[in-house]
Structure 1
Amino acid sequence: MALKMEITVERWPIAGTFTISRGSKTEAAVVVFTLTDSGFLGRGECVPYARYGESLDSVCAEIEKLRDALADGATRDDLPGLIGAGAARNAVDCALWDLEAKRTGRSVSDIVGLPRLHELSTAVTVSFGDAQAMAASTKGFANRPLIKVKVGGENDAERIRAVAEAAPASRIIIDANEGWNDDNIVENMLAAAKAGVVLIEQPLPAGKDEILAKIPHPVPICADESAHGTDDLHTLLGRYDSINIKLDKTGGLTEALRMQKRARELGFGIMVGCMVGTSLAMAPAVLVAQDADFVDLDGPLILREDRKPGLVFEGSRVSPPQPELWG
């Protein structure tokens, strides 16, 4: 039977509105790539991200360009020579992993050589808003062990104090999404340190972060928009303490695992994060997150309804994916 390929755009409503410093959205628009061969089916999901010049149309077109190569037997190892890193390659890479698992009857974690997968504790996310509204949202998560808070505007020190007071027993990550600048970063970092924040994610715009090598880090700093793949890591030394690995940035599980290994060798801490998508997008990231200092895979919890079957969430705990979902 010939290899069959399908590219599908899906829209998943968000429960309310999800807001970061760059704007708000009310739905997660994802691309699902499906490969079928001899009755076996493999799937991968990606989330096009405008910040990186991606759209639904561009990602679908990038995947379409791979049709002939995949039909001729292109493998995961061939993908970097055929398509750049990003959302499109992620969907294809993860679909190829899933297809191999289904063909062989082995889990992806077994193929990779990972120990038995264990349950993880994920951060939950509080959207950007004014200090009072964010404190109220944070208070609703005060029983969760790890909360990620979106900042990146004027008066962030006030937001930081408010959310820390609203959840005194929780560890808090501050994510500025490139929203700070050289003039306010020291003040905001000191406010974060005073509030007991455990990590600050991407405080400055990618490519405009030279000051991070010159100022103290009273709270560890994590690279997100500045960290896409393994080749970026050497440029981050001395500026960042941790990196956020997202499969939509790396171009799939294959590169994410490579990046994780090299990051550990260089002494970086590791967060495994996500865009807002369904459990199909989170499932491969669960494998990378088995060795992470911070896990941020709450994308499905932001949706009004998740894919079925999906990952099983109990509070902040998330179980490894079942084969019916992926891998």
Structure 2
Amino acid sequence: MEILLKKYVLKLKHAFGISRESYDYQDTLIISLSLNGKTGYGEATANSYYNITVEKMQQEITSVKKDIEKYHFTTPEDFHKWLTTKKLSNFSICALDLAANDLFGKLKNKPLYKIWDTTLDKYPVTNYTIGIASVEKMVEKMAEKPWPLYKIKLGTDNDIKIVQELRKHSDAIFRVDANCAWTAQQTIDNSKLLKELGVEFIEQPLKANDLKGYEKVKKESHLPIIADESCIVEEDVQKCAGSFDGINIKLTKCGGLTPALRMIKKAKKLGLKVMVGCMTESTVGISAIAQLLPQLDYVDMDGAMLLESDIATGVIIRENGKVVFPDIAGSGITLRV
């Protein structure tokens, strides 16, 4: 296979604020894998919380570039298994795995969701994320993007007041994500008020390793609790079963579509709701997530919608939440620049 790596700096429409940071630009790595006249694309964004930079990913992948070029590609599953022996971060493996899956679908001339024996008869609508900012700015973002479902980032001293104010301006369903900023008792107390304000669920309110806190919250919360930072890799799914109502799978954190498919099956067997989330990826990463839609209860794939300009074409998300899939096979990605 031929492999190419390229760094992009994605400019956001607005500063994106969560409980621990705020940023205006997102660094991302795009990988292309080419074989027999077809090219697959993959993506992984940098992430300071997990100490991942594009430069680090480039160094890791470059160190095994010759091995990848010699690799006899047959299936994404075999390729992913081989990659896990190369001491790469899951972010690097994700970019390679997404490219391999896109390539595989293009070689087979089928979109991935069809290869996985699923249909688009029914799938969840993505939320649109409102990052932490002044209440006035958050209201302005909602007015700029009318949407049936918002994820509200929280983790301030005035979280309930923020949601109360936003509710005055929209009848949409709300989800809230505290990104580890609350205590167990805060979560329980907030859950009652948030339920009255039309919130659907709370995502990752406590620190990732506070499983005892989550056990208490699960028993006493008025809303379902979804794991994010507490569910990174496949082994975490079982750990979340007694402490959460569902999990949010991030492709970059778990290592791509291949392990995500296994996590989905395992979560469903354990009775957990399944969500897949994004990390402010371009349409390259979002189109990969979209292939999983028929298997999901919830989805957060608004990353490309938050960008000032995109670097690829692929799936298109319409104003009513409907997803338009391209005629191209695989994940349906074409790189623009």
1:191 to 185, 188, 193: 193
Q: Name the counterpart of 1:72.
A: 70
Cα 1:8/1:308, change in 2 over 3 Å: closer
Which structure 1 residue ranges, 5 or more long, are not aligned?
A: none
SS in 1 for 2:199: coil
Cα 1:60/1:125, change in 2 over 3 Å: same
Q: Distance in 1 between matches of 2:106 and 2:85?
A: 25
Identity in percent: 27
Asked if 2 retains the 8 angstrom alpha-carbon contact of 1:244 and 1:273, the reply is yes
The answer as to 2:44 corresponding to 1:40 is no
Q: Name the counterpart of 2:168.
A: 165
Alignment RMSD (CA, Å)? 2.1
Q: Distance in 1 between matches of 2:261 and 2:192?
A: 34
Residues 246-304 of structure 1: CA distance to partner in whole angstroms, max 9, x if unpaired? 11111111011110011000011111110101111111111222222212111111001
Asked if 2 retains the 8 angstrom alpha-carbon contact of 1:122 and 1:318, the reply is no
Opposite residue 23 of structure 1, the aligned amino acid is E
The answer as to 2:333 corresponding to 1:326 is yes
> How many angstroms does 1:227 deviate by?
0.7
2:322 to 317, 321, 325: 317
Asked if 2 retains the 8 angstrom alpha-carbon contact of 1:272 and 1:285, the reply is yes
SS in 2 for 1:323: coil
Q: Name the counterpart of 1:274.
A: 278
Q: Distance in 2 between matches of 1:86 and 1:321?
A: 28
Opposite residue 241 of structure 2, the aligned amino acid is L
SS in 1 for 2:168: helix
Asked if 2 retains the 8 angstrom alpha-carbon contact of 1:132 and 1:162, the reply is no
Q: Name the counterpart of 2:181.
A: 179
Q: Distance in 1 between matches of 2:316 and 2:198?
A: 30
Q: Name the counterpart of 2:26.
A: 28
Cα 1:118/1:196, change in 2 over 3 Å: closer
Q: Distance in 2 between matches of 1:65 and 1:323?
A: 32
SS in 2 for 1:229: coil
1:1-327 correspondence runs (5 A): 3-73=1-71, 75-83=79-87, 86-116=90-120, 121-141=125-145, 143-167=146-170, 169-182=171-184, 184-215=186-217, 216-315=220-319, 316-323=321-328, 325-326=332-333
Q: Distance in 2 between matches of 1:184 and 1:253?
A: 35
Asked if 2 retains the 8 angstrom alpha-carbon contact of 1:119 and 1:319, the reply is no
The count of residues paired between Structure 1 and Structure 2 equals: 323
> How many angstroms does 1:119 deviate by?
6.6
> How many angstroms does 1:25 deviate by?
1.1
Q: Name the counterpart of 2:76.
A: none
Cα 1:70/1:123, change in 2 over 3 Å: same
Say which is worse superposed, 279-288 or 317-326, in terms of deviation. 317-326
Asked if 2 retains the 8 angstrom alpha-carbon contact of 1:87 and 1:248, the reply is yes
TM-score (structure 2 length as normaliser):
0.89
Q: Distance in 1 between matches of 2:91 and 2:121?
A: 25
Moved segments of 4+, more than 6 Å: none
> How many angstroms does 1:86 deviate by?
2.3
TM-score (structure 1 length as normaliser):
0.91
